[in-house]
Amino acid sequence: MAEKQDVKQDDTDLFAIPDRLPRLLSNFEAVAASDTTAVLVDTDDKTPDELANWVIAHLEATGA
């Protein structure tokens, strides 16, 4: 978020509203646990280019 240029209300609410972030993470984990096609992507400290390269490499490796 520190690098994000287009911060919106929803972004700030993520940290300002008590329990918002833990609930969101819990929801993502629940969906991932029930979806065999879900892929965990660590986005911390990654640039958009790094993320794009990771996604492309993952798709190529899995033949998607």
Residue 3 lies in a domain: no
Range of the domain at 29: 9-62
Position 1 in a domain? no
pTM beyond 0.85, yes or no: no
Separation between Cα atoms, residue 27 and residue 43, nearest integer Å: 17
Note whether residue 20 is domain-resident. yes
pLDDT tens, residue order, the chain (64 aa): 667 788 899 888 988 999 999 999 999 899 989 998 888 888 888 999 999 999 999 999 988 6
Alpha helices in 1-64, H assignment, sequence order: 9-16, 20-34, 48-62
Number of domains comprising the chain: 1
